[in-house]
Structure 1
């Protein structure tokens, strides 16, 4: 599969991150759950090439003597964790900005989805995904049930490659299949601009129902900075509504209202215990993952 939305420099940094679940860790805060992960355990699973940072006691010295290469023995530990990636594929996710031409919210969501899948696979955990958008057909849902292994990653890549943003976020009545699939112990990561009330309602309902929900809000640099100069025609990609105006004249009011909306959203997520962060299109792809899963590594990458 030649499609790979993860830049090489980002992929190399993923090895420092761990998918974490409060519930799978026993509710004692953020920490690596007891995963069905490959590491130093009792039941042999596979060999993999040695990487800097691996413990020397994990190296298979007999295999080194035969091959003249370092390999690490990995074993499996049981885990209840399955990670669900919920990806907003509504029309607003097609938005790009001048800060990174050709890179849309949906492109970022695809890259983040594959990063999360890679983290799950490295830990030996299962992952599944749901595309959410009326343009997808099938009631606005596209579903890949949780599984592990390289074939599951290939299925995800095959699903994501042709995915286009269109239509609106599904209504609550269309999301019934979602409730039957996401288990109590599952970890749910939502990738969306979070502008649609139906998306916020979905996250709140999942959290109130006892699922652990994480949210990554995907924003454009233009929303953050509103750098427009001169006259513009602003259009809502989902409703088609338009606003004509002068950039500098609108800037202060837009930033004030946008900031208020962001604070209100964050307060609503905090109220139901949803961990959340944002990703702006001019940032490195792993920036939000480091904030959620790299508590011991505060380095930021531009």
Structure 2
């Protein structure tokens, strides 16, 4: 039997969450999003320049023959969004806390990804999944419905943390698949600069990015004592330290890095939330997509 990615109590709390673009624009198909958007509808609205990710069938080939440039026909229609979940499955996501060694950052990310999929399914939206880690990205192309949900969940269940964040050629598949104005939910610890750059590039290219940084409680609190050896899971680097002596410096520098990441994303219009492994699984999604004031880790209004 496949493991349950979304516990029953978390599923129940998803009812007042709703995936939405910051601009309240839509994607393709029919769903709960009633805002007007431009795309492949019946009533012609305008041309715009072709962008990576646009479907070739929407190119006006007659206009190309006259201008030698690619243009896409847009039309007004009511439609929902298209959501992509991008999951960091590099080796650093294997990290777990000493208090709960059986639940890693990747396990938490899988739960968050499955929650986003359930929200998209409930809304009638289209959704796809990209898993980054190891040799090459693993992609479940965009689709909709219960079978698409099952395909994505199967990929999540089979996913294991491995390797480093992939290089630029491997990540390029996102530019080919993720169309402009899509919602991209990026789940990562963001310990790789390349993951941060990917979020910024997607946002700069008219993708609506929502990010969740996954952290361990041990990373947040640094509760270690005495001599410790810390190993980088993605390289041969390691460091031996007296934990008590370096605690204050670590907490200050780690806190500053988190603040700088939040500011960096805010400057690009990226919605951002932190998630620590000892918090309720739905908390970061409530901060990003709740239809009312977000709640704190204890369930009280923040």
Q: TM over 0.5: same fold?
A: yes
- For residues 145 and 117 of structure 1, do their structure 2 counterparts lie closer, same or farther at Cα, with a shift above 3 Å needed? same
Tell me, which stretches of 5 or more residues in structure 2 are unaligned? 35-76
- For residues 239 and 39 of structure 1, do their structure 2 counterparts lie closer, same or farther at Cα, with a shift above 3 Å needed? closer
Give the drift of 1:299: 2.8
In the alignment, the residues of structure 1 paired with residue 33 and residue 237 of structure 2 have an alpha-carbon distance, to the nearest angstrom, of 53
Is 1:254 the counterpart of 2:255 in the alignment?
A: no
In the alignment, the residues of structure 2 paired with residue 91 and residue 127 of structure 1 have an alpha-carbon distance, to the nearest angstrom, of 25
In the alignment, the residues of structure 1 paired with residue 237 and residue 253 of structure 2 have an alpha-carbon distance, to the nearest angstrom, of 18
Cα offsets for 1:82-119 (capped at 9, x unmatched): 10000001000000012322110000110000000000
Q: Which residue of 2 aligns with 1:273?
A: 269
Q: Which residue of 1 aligns with 2:30?
A: 36
Q: Which of 129, 145, 151 is the aligned partner of 1:149?
A: 145
Q: Is the 8 A contact 1:172 1:202 kept in 2?
A: no
Name the TM-score, length of structure 2 as normaliser: 0.80
Q: How does 1:1-302 map to 2 (within 5 A)?
A: 2-23=2-23, 25-26=24-25, 36-37=30-31, 78-133=78-133, 135=134, 137=135, 140-302=136-298
Tell me, which stretches of 5 or more residues in structure 1 are unaligned? 27-31, 41-76
1:266 aligned counterpart, secondary structure: helix
2:181 aligned counterpart, secondary structure: coil
Size of the alignment, in residue pairs? 256
Cα offsets for 1:180-214 (capped at 9, x unmatched): 11111210000000110110111111111111111
Name the TM-score, length of structure 1 as normaliser: 0.80
Cα offsets for 1:147-184 (capped at 9, x unmatched): 11110111111111121101010112322221011111
Decide which moves more: 199-208 or 259-268: 259-268
Q: Is the 8 A contact 1:22 1:33 kept in 2?
A: no
1:103 aligned counterpart, secondary structure: strand
**How well do the aligned residues superpose, as a CA RMSD in angstroms?**
2.1
2:97 aligned counterpart, secondary structure: coil
